[in-house]
Amino acid sequence: MKKRIPYLSFTACLIIVCVGHFIVDFMIGIWPIYKMMMGFDLAKAGIMVGVAAALGEGIQFVSGPGTDKGFGKALAIGGIILATSAVFLAFTHNPTAWLCLIVLTYLGSGFFHPAAGGLLGMLPTKRLSLLMGLFAASGTFGMSLSQLVFSKAYSISLVMVLVLTIPTAVLALWGFFQRSYMVVVGDETESNSQTKKFDFQAFGRLVRDHRFLLLYVALLTTQIIFWSVIFLLPDLLQSRRYPSWLCLGSGHLVFMLGSSVITIVAGWLADRFSSTKVMIAAFSLGLPCCYIIAYMPNLSVGLMLLCLFFLGGACYSITPVGIAFGNRLMPGSPGLVNACLMGMVWAVSESVSPLGSGLLASLFHANAPGKALGIMGALLFVGLWCSLLLEAKTRRPVMAEA
């Protein structure tokens, strides 16, 4: 029995997922700098974004399987529109309104990310890790500019802040008119599609695979550190009396640029050699950078920027490499795999990171953000250990695929 599956053309898919990822992550990056500009308490700000992230990213359990059923384009475009709610944080000083806007932003992220990852997973290519690297790099590039652009626009006028919604409008209108093509598949693909439905049986197949569990924990630990740095960095730099240009987005820019550049390189290396070896190398690079930033408050501007660049690259590059590796472990269900390795990872990490680091920072006085980061950084040792076990368990299959 034949079945017709909708999919976007290669070019249209790349434009929607990459430009959309730029916009969505740009919007997510606004709150960490805005809360510092408003002098908002770190603990309260962490609780707010923790709640919003848990609610918003949890929706990936709906959007992930929805992509496998042919709704990927609608979910991706809808997510981009919702995420743009972050722009309107600048138009109110009410904490309740802030919370509502942050929830909408993370709902947009939850709709977009698994849908975009699923759309990429449907493309006929043998370079999935490289495409995932490009996809991830587009998001990190957007987030790298978010704090610098938003703070500058806010300092000029609210009209300039409103201009930030124009790219969303243009992409949404263009994407709406892109035609979805149809491909005819046979019995094997149709039978495989039954596993794409997110139910207890499908989820059970994932959690019974020890390699998949190790991969999940490795991705979770690095994402917790990644989001903790983004949340704490403006306050950390300000508390150490670095220049205002560094505090108001430039430090964040360098951190995210490292994520963009090293992520592309990591994707290429993972395709050429081994995903697990790349993950081990990334954890080994991230550990010293994290603790130098956390416990050396007198770093020069140059050394701080260098550590931020490599820490950002080390932390974020593990995510696309791990997701591509997960799709190879569980072929035929890209939406389900992405929902688990993005939805379950980000719903936890984006909640735990600001909540945990904000509350930890409230326990200290001197170098409070740095000490909070140092405590959270212990999770990188857990991620490294999981990666080493994963390499030992999958060496033969992975090398056979390479």
What is the Cα–Cα distance from 284 to 391, expressed in whole angstroms?
14
What is the Cα–Cα distance from 140 to 260, expressed in whole angstroms?
5
Query: CATH code at 78?
Result: 1.20.1250.20
Calculate Rg over the CA atoms of the chain: 20
Residue 4's H or E segment, with its range, is strand 3-7
List of E strands, 57-194: 181-185
Per the rule left: phi > 0, alpha: psi between -120 and 50, beta: everything else, 186 is beta
pLDDT confidence of residue 91: 94
Q: Which residues of the chain have pLDDT under 50?
A: 1-3, 182-199, 397-402
Tokens 């929805």 sit at which residue?
66
Residue-number span of the structural domain to which 159 is assigned: 3-401
306, amino acid identity? L
pLDDT confidence of residue 59: 76
Interior/surface letters 204-224, b for 16+ CB within 10 angstroms, e for the rest: eebeebebbebbbbbbbbbbb
List of E strands, 149-269: 181-185
pLDDT confidence of residue 203: 59
pLDDT confidence of residue 15: 86
pLDDT confidence of residue 401: 42
Q: Residue 15: how many CA atoms within 13 Å on its side-chain side? A: 15
**Structure tokens that stand for 229 in this block:** 């740095």
Parallel/antiparallel/unpaired status of strands 181-185 and 3-7: antiparallel
pLDDT confidence of residue 217: 92
Domains held by the chain: number: 1
pLDDT confidence of residue 127: 67
Which three-class secondary structure state does DSSP give residue 164? coil
Residues 6+ apart with CB under 8 A from 383: 217, 218, 220, 221, 222, 283, 318
| DSSP letter for each residue of 37-71 | HTT--HHHHHHHHHHHHHHHHTTHHHHHHHIIIII
269, amino acid identity? L
Residues 6+ apart with CB under 8 A from 319: 136, 219, 222, 223, 345
- Which DSSP symbol is given to 308? H
pLDDT confidence of residue 397: 47
| DSSP letter for each residue of 218-233 | HHHHHHHHHHHHHHHH
